[in-house]
Structure 1
Amino acid sequence: MLIIIILPPYMLYYKFIILERRQKSLKEIRLDKYQMEAVKSNHRNLVVIAPPGSGKTFVIINRIFYLMKERGVCGKNIFAMTFTKSAAKDMERRFLILKKANNYYSMHTPFFGTLHSLFYNILRTYCGVINIISEKESIFIIEKVLKKYTNTIREELVKDVLNNISKYKSKQQIDNHIDEKLFYECYDEYERYKSLKNKLDFDDIQIKCRELLVNNSEILNECRNKFEYLLIDEFQDCDHMQLSILKMLNKDNSIFAVGDEDQCIYSFRGAKPEGMVNFSKYFNQGKKIFLKINYRSGESIVELSKNLIKINKLRNSKEILTYNKFEGKINIIYSEDEKEQIENILKEVLYNVEKKEYNFKDIAILYRRNTEALIIIDYFLRNNVDFNLNQKYFNIYNHFICNDILSYIKLSLDNKNRHSFTRIINKPFRYISKTHIEKLKGFRKKDNCFDIMCNLNISLLQIKTIKALERKINKIKKLDIDKVVDYIMKDIGYEEYIHSYSKKLKIDEEELLYIVYVLKKALEDFTSLEDFTRYIEESKNKALEKKENAITLSSIHSSKGMEFKSVFIINCNDGNIPHNSNVNDLEDKFKLEEERRLFYVALTRSISNLNLCICSNIRGKYLPYSRFLKECNLNLKDSYNTDEVVLHKYLGEGKIRKVKENKIIIDFNGICRMLKLDVININGLIQKVTKDA
């Protein structure tokens, strides 16, 4: 039962974005009793535990307004912070709407910004002008080092190195998949450049801010006098250094933190759920208040997600109630492989859109890893389905593997293609020097690249290598189109290059091979190599175009804070979610708990329609459905034994003759049928029969 408390006008928030979608008739949105308790709390240090859809930002905004109106706190002593500039601007925008609606034009506006901007302002006030290193500069420095190891620089690798530099500076352990020699060379060059240019990054700002406050009690006291009220949104994302600085600033001041440790999914950036679970250890006499009403999702979706997340140990035990009267629909979609999966998803989407249940913009497809979107992007582009990518995306058509394979194909169609030749000549390494490759530029563009190279001053062995490569590349255009990618990988040796590249830079080879797999599947649908290369070139920018009414494609990480009427979570299989790096390390329960939190975030993006998609084969491998589905209490049964009697929904009673991996053989009155366990379990086709004695 939802208890509504009538508040004075200043406690109202007009057009609150979550609730107004559910309750179109409401002109004013009021705080529920749990939100009211948080907003009017007298506790100096308070953490508000806010489950998905419970209105956490709504509470922060009203808390600020309450402090200013009822407590007489000056806006210049209130600092509201979150983790992104866009979120901070949105918080300020919504506060100004509330302020305008209540005609309080004369009040000072509080500080709205990121934690980094607060620390930056402290340093700038007491240390003078600060030069911050740009993202472009950081990337350039790392790429400069990486070029010593490889000619192919992946954007994801650069960001991975920079992320681990941040971890290292915060005294956290760097990822074990990063090559140590490479990492420390990148780190040393990065720090040398900053020192030379007198620049700081965000980690430096945090570190130096903390050092300033630790070493200068006068400055610390000045800051404490100024920052009387600190309000932090998404508190579960704070790292150790940020918690340490907030603790120093706190002392006799007030901290009002809002977040949900069950949605702490950024441990790779140093986020710590412990800050919310053990709040009183960080902040003296810290208290907890729980928001309990989910205003977003249907009852069945709320119950499903609660069943899952309560298994985690590192969390606050909490009660979550459902506001919405509708049940919410949960579907499980079984597919043989990833191609069939997206076909099934699109059928479901079109069916719902035709029934006018949803628009395309109401639908999201979520995935654990960015590479999982590649097949979806390719399928949607070729079938003219509008979509928007939620995050800055490494487009498959701009990925180096795609460009390498495409270069082999282009070179087979045109042996004068300079760009393609220089791109692949040493992939794998064929002992052709950069000096000789550069000499190509001095020859006419209508000349055969292979002939030019053979006429340079190179060894007989190199000439032999180039001529052999030319013969192999010329053969590409004569092959059946479905054999082209395998030929480039095996016969020409590109697979060897991927293996050495991933080994040298400690990159997951499976992820790179998946790009190859997607290209192979895409190529099979074309009748000519010319059509395929034309399609790739046309698609490079098309994938990133923004459309008005389009399906959202997003990683689960990037979907946090968003909501959709209908959500599809793809590849709900063990090895994918939870990811195999965390499945194989079950001793590290923290990793498994984070994977569970990630799945919880995915589930709770849905308002009314949740679709859990399971593939029998992912990348040609059988993977069982995710253990998280069982933890959701979806009644997925997969334990069958020989000679057990079962009742099939359509075929009647039968006896199990054999169980092997993903298949089961059942004898129905002398007729044996082989069935897939995934199909019968997920669709509830059979149940065990207990014979009376």
Structure 2
Amino acid sequence: MSDSLPAGLNPAQREAVLYLGGPCLVLAGAGSGKTRVITQKIAYLLRECGYMGRNIVALTFTNKAAREMDERVKTLVDRKLAKGLTISTFHALGVRFLREEARHAGLKPQFSILDADDAMGIIQELLATTDKGWLRTVQTTISLWKNALLDPDGAAAAASTKAEIEAARVYRSYAATLAAYQAVDFDDLIRIPALLLEHNEEVRTRWQNRVRYLLVDEYQDTNVCQYRLVQLLTGDRAMFTAVGDDDQAIYAWRGATIENLAKLTTDYPGLKLIKLEQNYRSVQRILAAANKVIEKNPKLFEKKLWSDLGVGEPIVITPMDGEEAEAESIAMRISAARFERQGQWKDYAILYRSNHQARILEQALRNLKIPYTIAGGQSFFDKAEIRDILAYLRLIANDQDDPAFIRAATTPRRGIGQGTLQTLGQYAAERQIPLFEAVFEQGVDALLQPRQLESLRTFAQFIQRMQWRAGRGAPDGSKPASAEPAGVLLDDLLGAIQYERHLYDMFDEKPAQTRWQNVLELTGWLKRKADEDGMTLFELVQHVALVTMLERGEEEEPDAVKLSTLHASKGLEYPHVYMAGVEEGLLPHLGKDDEEGDPARAAESLAIRIEEERRLMYVGITRAQRSLNLSWCRKRRRAREDLVREPSRFIEEMGLGDAKFPEDEATRAMSPKERLGMLKALLNKGG
């Protein structure tokens, strides 16, 4: 039966694909072909083992990874054979689960999903503050509690500091608000299914019968809630394959727990452990450095990466006097190296620990006219002003969209506050109707003050007028003769809600102007789409759902140097990598000491932070395929002060006996051809 497997699998990969004797942990080192193992195993289950597509679920953490897996599987098996196969993120599976089990979860079928901005707005109202730092702290704390399966009572019991006690108080009110809105947030998409599976035998049996085999990617990134979800979906059969790497666990700050890998060995005594140690990405010198660094960490599982791609170039370490010199040196070296190698800009990546390092690197690249993109930058469609306008359009197209109602009703401010919406939400939940519909019911009259009712109904009537003009019929069944052009409606919408004035009231002139230009860019794009394709406003709003396809750039990366934080670089690879700021205090980033805490506990916390920072360094090193350049600064400016820096301990830990240590000047270690490239770069800078 295994003869149909491709010959290209190495022995460890082949063993991982074929093993079906129970729970299996595939310890997959960086660049070891884990996606190939997962997709080949799905194909094997479908082709050789009699599994139906509808009984296989594969989970990962990003839409990009899920798309890649799905596309690979489609090349391996017939579409009919894969019918019903689920390859998705944890959160997408959670949405599907809650849609099907809404009644058992105490939700209406059209429950709303709040994103981080929607949730932050509720928390801001509850705290009655504009302190962004405090708001983020409370939101993060609530998220971590949810990921640890703590409800408001559990959070209150666990809270030990003044900040945690306040966050627990807000958590209780926040949970009540979401329940009244018939809404869930991002964390609830996993938390509620896990709790429902735990406590409802009917639901648990139904899903365990459906999910006959489960595959989970990046298992080291799972949190307590996700671990429990996997347990409950697989049940006593425990037919699953978990793929992960303890050396790449870098997300503790958002609730991921590396202990989940070790927990598998205790919860499943018969667990099969398979190690993928052959790396298909990097030359041996790079892997040797990565192995030396990570061996300093306590090991859950012994693992050593190796490669047959050759020894490779010596790793280059460059000390610099300051961050400006460092950025200029990196930009010049990239320009020279590209000229010498006759390669592409996208072969090069600059990685760094913190976002604040990017600005000066961008400036150096611009000075040399080097194209670049920034990984993990804010999407245009995630900007608050864009989301505000899209909320109006969503509500006009679908007045059952409660999150859109909440956002549009409160932006710009029009006398509709959190208390008004909470009362309306409770009424709508009892009646099992959308918020928009509840506004017009007589039953709500006794619950709200006349002023509150007037604000709500004035807003809702405005939305109805826009719906009529867009071609939608009125509640009495009448319909307009024709829909007005989408461009006209967009202009009238912006004018009616006075959004430009709202921006200038909320922000200083320059940021307000930038935000307004973003809005005009959005509406201009929508108008062009409407004109080109003859779309009504309703059709246009439906089409906006495809906007994320535009953000993927048609699946083709531009020819540009990639700037990225180390966290955002995980899962990616580049022929040539430059790591900036490899110095103590930055990498590792030590955080703030807890001066009020127990010294022993503080020391333990510091040791844990260093271990995670070391894993982050390991991730950065293993992004490089052919060459790796590290730089550090003797001085770095922070808050108008020049701080003396030392090279990162991780450089010494790499054991680089054959490393190249050029002088500060970027030209010292260059070949004649590189020097010519440098001259060309400087000429470009002058032109």
Measure, in 1, the Cα distance between the counterparts of 2:658 and 2:176.
56
Residue 42 of structure 2 is aligned to residue 64 of structure 1: yes
The 5 A counterparts of 1:242-321 are 242-250=226-234, 251-321=236-306
Deviation of 1:586 after TM superposition, in Å, equals 4.1
Distance 1:39 1:545, change over 3 A: closer
Displacement, 1:202? 3.1
Aligned 8 A contact 2:124 2:130 in 1: no
SS at match of 1:344: helix
In the other structure, the counterpart of 1:622 is 644
2:216 to 223, 232, 235: 232
CA distance in structure 2 between the partners assigned to 1:573 and 1:219 by the alignment = 52
**Retained in 2: the 8 A contact 1:279–1:287?**
no
**Counterpart contact for 2:54–2:86, Cα < 8 Å:** yes
Distance 1:360 1:98, change over 3 A: same
Correspondence for 1:134: 115
SS of residue paired to 2:187? helix
User: How many aligned residue pairs are there?
Assistant: 477
> 1:49–1:290: 8 Å Cα contact kept in structure 2?
yes
Flag structure 2 segments of 5+ consecutive residues without an equivalent: 104-108, 385-509, 522-550, 595-601, 670-687
Highest Rg: 1 or 2? Answer: 1
Q: 1:360 Cα deviation (Å)?
A: 1.1
Aligned to 1:170: 147
Structure 2 residue matching 1:322: 3-state secondary structure: coil
CA distance in 1, matches of 2:265, 2:271: 4
Which residue identity is paired with 2:94? Answer: F
Q: Residue 228 of structure 1 contacts residue 253 of structure 1 at CA under 8 Å; is this kept in 2?
A: no
Any idea what the Cα deviations from partners look like across 1:102-135, whole Å, max 9, x if unmatched? x564443511112223333333323342432234
Q: Is 1:579 equivalent to 2:589 in the alignment? A: yes
Report the CA distance between 1:45 and its aligned residue.
0.4
Are 1:609 and 2:627 counterparts? Answer: yes
Which letter does structure 1 place at the counterpart of 2:573? E
User: Could you say which residue in structure 1 is the equivalent of 2:129?
Assistant: 148
Instruction: Give, in whole Å, the separation in 1 of the partners of 2:364 and 2:125.
Output: 36
- State the 1:210 CA deviation: 2.5
**Cα distance between partner residues in 2 of 1:226 and 1:545:** 33
Q: How do 1:533-612 and structure 2 match up within 5 A?
A: 548-581=558-591, 585-588=602-605, 589-612=607-630
Q: Kindly tell me: are residues 337 and 84 of structure 1, through their superposed partners in 2, closer, same or farther at Cα, counting changes over 3 Å?
A: same
Which residue of 25, 41, 47 maps to 2:25?
Answer: 47
Give the Å deviation of 1:175: 11
Counterpart amino acid of residue 580 in structure 1:
L
Q: Structure 2 counterpart of 1:587, which letter?
A: E
Task: Report the Cα distance in structure 1 between the residues aligned to 2:113 and 2:291, rounded to whole angstroms.
Answer: 43
Q: Does 1:115 align with 2:99?
A: no
Question: 1:108 and 1:253, CA in 2 relative to 1: closer, same or farther beyond 3 A?
Answer: farther
* Structure-to-structure mapping, 1:12-411, within 5 angstroms: 12=6, 30-99=8-77, 105-128=80-103, 129=109, 130-144=111-125, 148-150=129-131, 153=132, 159-171=136-148, 179-180=163-164, 183-184=167-168, 187-188=171-172, 190-250=174-234, 251-356=236-341, 358-393=343-378
Matches within 5 A, 1:460-499: none
CA distance in 1, matches of 2:318, 2:272: 43
TM-score by length of 2: 0.63
Does the 8 Å CA contact 1:308/1:631 hold for their aligned counterparts? yes
**Percent pairwise identity:** 29
CA shift, 1:571, in A, is 0.7
Inter-partner Cα distance in structure 2 for 1:367 and 1:145: 36
Question: Is the 8 Å Cα contact of residues 164 and 175 (structure 1) preserved in structure 2?
Answer: no
Letter in 1 for 2:322: D
Superposition deviation, residue 65 in structure 1: 0.7
User: Quick check: 1:45–1:284 contact (8 Å CA) kept in 2?
Assistant: no
Distance 2:98 2:268 in 1: 23
Deviation at 1:226, TM superposition (A): 1.2
Alpha-carbon distance in 1 for matches of 2:90, 2:227 = 10
The DSSP-based 3-state class of the residue aligned with 2:43 is: helix
Q: Indicate conservation of the 8 Å contact 1:142/1:158, yes or no.
A: yes
Deviation at residue 204 of structure 1 after TM alignment: 2.5
Q: Work out whether residues 586 and 592 of structure 1, in 8 Å CA contact, stay in contact via their aligned partners in 2.
A: no
Residues of 1 paired with 2:218 and 2:254: CA distance? 14
Q: Classify 1:245/1:184 alpha carbon distance in 2 versus 1 (closer, same or farther; 3 Å).
A: closer
Residue 247 of structure 1 deviates from its aligned partner by 1.6
* CA displacement, residues 629-651 of structure 1 (integer Å, 9 cap, x when unaligned): 111112599xxxxxxxxxxx99x
Q: Which amino acid aligns with 1:604?
A: T
Alignment CA distance shift 1:32-1:570 (3 Å): same
Q: Distance in 2 between matches of 1:248 and 1:570?
A: 43
CA contact (8 A) 1:298 1:608 kept: yes
Which amino acid is 2:613 matched to?
E
SS at match of 1:607: strand
| CA-CA distance at 1:231 after TM superposition | 0.3
Q: Which residue type is aligned with residue 242 of structure 2?
A: A
8 A contact 2:344–2:559 mirrored in 1: yes
RMSD of the alignment, in Å?
A: 3.7
Rate the CA distance shift 1:216–1:141 in 2: closer, same or farther, 3 A: closer
TM-score normalised by the chain length of structure 1: 0.63
> Aligned partners of 1:586, 1:364: CA distance in 2, in Å?
35
Residues 144-163 of structure 1, C-alpha deviation per residue, up to 9 Å, x if partnerless? 4576244xx47xx7555433
- Per-residue CA distance 1:549-592 (angstroms, 9 max, x = gap): 21111111000000001111111111111112279954322221
Change (3 A) 1:106 1:167: closer
Distance of aligned partners of 1:218 and 1:142 in 2 relative to their CA distance in 1, 3 Å threshold: closer
The residue identity in structure 1 corresponding to 2:560 is A
Does the CA-based 8 Å contact 1:568-1:611 persist in structure 2? yes
The answer to whether the 8 A contact 1:7-1:30 is kept is: no
Q: Deviations over 1:78-123 (max 9, x none)?
A: 1011112222122111111222xxx564443511112223333333
1:86–1:559 distance in 2 versus 1, CA, 3 Å: same
* Secondary structure of 1:319 counterpart: coil
1:236–1:260 Cα contact (<8 Å) kept: yes
> Aligned equivalents of 1:209 and 1:545: distance in 2?
30
| C-alpha separation in 2, matches of 1:563 and 1:625 | 25
Q: 1:360–1:550: 8 Å Cα contact kept in structure 2?
A: yes
- Quote the residue 1:633 is aligned against: 655
The 3 A distance-change label for structure 1 pair 582 and 363 is farther
| Residues 517-536 of structure 1: pairs in structure 2 closer than 5 A | none
Cα deviation digits, residues 364-388 of structure 1 (max 9, x gap): 1111111111211233334433110
SS in 2 for 1:293: coil
Alignment gaps of 5+ in structure 1: 1-5, 13-28, 400-532, 638-648, 651-675, 684-693
Distance 1:382 1:183 in 2: 46
> Greater relative contact order: 1 or 2 (C-alpha under 8 angstroms, separation 6 or more)?
2
Find the aligned partners of 2:645 and 2:161 in 1 and give their Cα distance. Answer: 23
Deviations 1:19-53 (A, max 9, x none): xxxxxxxxxx7211110011011331001000000
Q: Aligned partners of 1:314, 1:92: CA distance in 2, in Å?
A: 33
SS at match of 1:60: helix
- For the structure 1 residues 216 and 145, does the alpha-carbon distance in structure 2 shift closer, same or farther, using more than 3 Å as the test? closer
Worse-superposed segment, 382-391 or 138-147: 138-147
